[in-house]
Structure 1
């Protein structure tokens, strides 16, 4: 698992305009269900159990999903305990991979046995830096043609610091990965959401630590043509320009734990409350907008869910919310959040053994009515 110190530094780095416009529409999803009986968000037991795996990727954070045109779903994970489950159900106290990828069948089965790791030459960590000692964390992604595109954070293993952002393209045919150099982002972390729209662009949301605040994050949006993934432009408050330094803040979020996606004709943003250790809060905020560049003013006040996780009366460090709009039965959308132990309130490692369930995502269903979708 990530240590609390590393997570704290990364949480800070990951945080490192109101104009009338016509919102572009993403590709249509024809699988929307027509019934809804729930009135409040609730934990999805089946989807949560999907992450309780006993082989391959066993415990992890990230949990970013990319729906494919063939109905399957690619799951992208960050630091992972891979294939190291002990006979007593524990794992060692440190993960052994920085990224792994799963492929879920087109029937969207939540049976963990039906979803397997993608491998390249027998290796599960498909995203690899060419710089010795550096590693990649993938983020939100989209499918373009037969490739899955995702912005990877390149991290230094010696310092735990972010050193670069690069656009990775995972080839669905052979699991190879190619990379596109990205322009200077002026310290903005463009990993908060990625939506492929019918206007021919991919929209990407990013965050940067708001000066003189405790954990608040300014949010920005960029886009690139689907046929030219390296050609990014940035919303400057009135138009799209080529300079990230001129990008406009579209909203300020309570923390850098942000996810943006497109659900039932609206752009949905969810955010965790700022926390870095145990007992740091439980709130997840949500807001929806008809525009990709504005309309989330309620994101700092509209609590849609409080995580129920407890251990010995304590709440965990939680982060990385991710919206999964492809799982939308019963007029509900799915999101996940990650937990990373209950330290320092409760020790995580005992006799070099670690409970993997305190480092696994949780899945939550949100009725469309909660955000007026």
Structure 2
């Protein structure tokens, strides 16, 4: 889940705006009822039907039509979830928006949309908390919907197949929950150092607690290729339960045989980063050779001295940014190669969660220092100027996609996710403008052609293999 908890009638809202950091930064804290919390942990919303459907379709209604039969076989089991195909291979942000706005076949929306290119040319799109259920003609969830905590969309040319655990009658997380802990996929890559090659997926374990949620563990889910079955689940080589431990791996970047794992310090929880722990708020970085992700050793950026990397996680220090001055006001979205250097993207500002702006920072190294991209002396928004929504939303994420059809390292898409502001049924009545149960299109990814990208420097880059 990348935004606030999925809200419905009877779930209380207590908004705390906290600028957090991560590929899927959570933007607000909520205080659901006890039943709501147990529903979230169990992923069980069979009795959580919306109170009423809204009148009329939303301003940003669905653009996808009925899915024709899949043009070819797929190796991953869809457990009966229908494949949706366009009449062409998507080549533009609008094409991909059409795909992810198609909500009528059981996959009713999710946030994230980070892609991994597979060796056979298919693309695995990663998602967090997922609405699984049927949607009526007004884009409202019908009774019996459920919420798996992760899912995928497997792209095979022009066709997309949801990958969700369980069955359509009883859907569950594709990467199974563990003892009250759920997993949000952060990123992954194809590990070709083993035979046969496998997919390594770094996931953040989220514990749902009475006062919200916190990142309590990290795991590496290893999946087989080409069938994408979970083969093993391994812990990372450090104690993720240490108070304020940076959540390394909220963004995973595979580059030149190394894996870089970015994440927030000061703890990562619904209430925001702590102020006085061993790891102050900021963005932290670990690295490891791609073939040693599971067993290490991992190294951590220390930011000083002739050897700025250490195997001692206790020496880790935050990365350097020229903007913003307060690290609490920065939310990392992602990192890609950009010419001879690197481009980090994310959101910035005390109230970044309400704005569509996504900013970029350039560096010659994946560890920085990071300099914000400017136009006329001011930080430059990468999102097109005319992007807006007809109602208030939580807006979070903000990363570049360079490895799917229609994109390239020099021709990316920019992606962020939105969520409804929520309601309590009394002081804040539930409507299609705030409740994703009444309007599933409030929740999900949005894709655009970016503007204000920095000049391309160095040799022409090859296709990103991450």
TM-score (norm 2): 0.62
1:220 maps onto 2:284 in alignment: yes
Alignment of 1:70-89 (within 5 A): 70-89=120-139
Unmatched 5+ stretches in structure 1: 17-42
Q: 1:129 to 1:342 in 2, by over 3 A?
A: closer
Pick from 292, 298, 302: which aligns with 2:372? Answer: 298
1:45 Cα shift? 1.8
Q: How many residues of Structure 1 are paired with residues of Structure 2 in the alignment?
A: 333
**Deviation at residue 149 of structure 1 after TM alignment:** 2.1
1:34 aligns to what? none
The aligned counterpart of 1:69 is 119
Q: For residue 157 of structure 1, what is the aligned residue in structure 2?
A: 208
How big is each residue's C-alpha offset from its partner over 1:244-278, in whole Å with a ceiling of 9 and x where there is no partner? 22112223453224222224443211112356798
For the aligned residues, what is the CA RMSD? 3.5
| Structure with greater Cα Rg | 2
CA, structure 1 residues 307+11, in 2 after alignment: closer, same or farther (shift >3 Å)?
Answer: farther
Return the structure number with greater strand share: 1
Paired position in structure 2 for 1:284: 358
Q: Distance in 2 between matches of 1:142 and 1:191?
A: 12
Residue 179 (structure 1) aligned with residue 233 (structure 2): yes
> Matches of 2:429 and 2:352 in 1, distance apart?
12
> Take 1:61 and 1:290, find their aligned partners in 2: how far apart are those partners?
30
The structure-2 alpha-carbon separation of the partners of 1:45 and 1:73, relative to structure 1 and needing over 3 Å to count, comes to same
1:343 Cα deviation after fit:
4.6
Q: 1:336 aligns with which of 415, 422, 425?
A: 415
Per-residue deviation, 1:302:
3.5
Selected match of 2:302 from 231, 236, 243: 236
2:314 to 245, 248, 253: 245
Q: What is the deviation of 1:357? A: 0.9
Pairing partner for 1:189 from 247, 253, 257: 247
Structure 1 Cα separation of the partners of residues 183 and 357 of structure 2: 29
Alpha-carbon spacing, 1:80–1:8, altered in 2? closer, same or farther (3 Å): farther
Instruction: Please tell me whether residue 115 in structure 1 is matched to residue 160 in structure 2.
Output: yes
User: Of residues 175, 186, 191 in structure 2, which corresponds to 1:127?
Assistant: 175
330 and 296 in structure 1: CA distance in 2 versus 1, 3 angstrom threshold: closer
Distance 2:245 2:399 in 1: 22
Scaled by the length of structure 1, the TM-score of the pair is 0.76
